[in-house]
């Protein structure tokens, strides 16, 4: 029991010491434009993004690609409501990927 408490204390101390360093590195990366600023979507948008991130984790890109392919199939079938629905999912899953936004606008325009 004593070893577990010591291990927990060591982890806590290292975590507290590491936090300012990580914040400084993140700030430096943002000033060099290597890391994007977080999106400010409001409460509703953030809840949706956090829910998607929690539900899909690292598979969001793969799922967005699958929905994009479904949207293209519906585009060839001239089913505009489905195209809009699928690209809505895609842009919610990958809001920072400009390619998805451009393709969605192109498919809905033409």
Q: What is the pLDDT of residues 76-104, one digit of tens each?
A: 998 888 999 899 888 888 888 888 888 88
Q: Is 100 exposed, middle or buried (0-12, 13-18, 19+ CB in 10 A)?
A: buried
Task: List Cα–Cα distances, 79 to 72, 82, 101, in angstroms.
Answer: 10, 6, 19
The model carries a pTM of 0.52
Strands (E), 1-110: none
The pLDDT tens digits for 17-34 are 888 888 898 888 888 888
- Which residues have C-beta within 8 Å of that of residue 63, sequence separation ≥ 6? 56, 93
Q: CA 68, CA 83: separation in Å to the nearest integer? A: 9
Neighbours of 51 (CB within 10 A): 11
29-49: pLDDT as tens digits: 888 888 777 666 555 555 555
């Amino acid at each position: 029991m004593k070893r577990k408490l010591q291990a927990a204390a060591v982890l806590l101390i290292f975590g507290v010491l590491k936090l300012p360093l990580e914040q400084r590195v993140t700030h430096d990366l943002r000033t060099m434009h290597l890391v994007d600023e977080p999106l400010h979507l409001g409460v509703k948008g953030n809840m949706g993004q956090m829910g998607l991130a929690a539900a899909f984790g690292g598979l969001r890109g793969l799922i967005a690609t699958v929905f994009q392919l479904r949207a293209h199939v519906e585009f060839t079938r001239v089913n505009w409501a489905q195209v809009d629905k699928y690209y809505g999912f895609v842009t919610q899953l990958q809001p920072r990927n400009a390619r998805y936004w451009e393709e969605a606008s192109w498919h809905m325009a033409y």
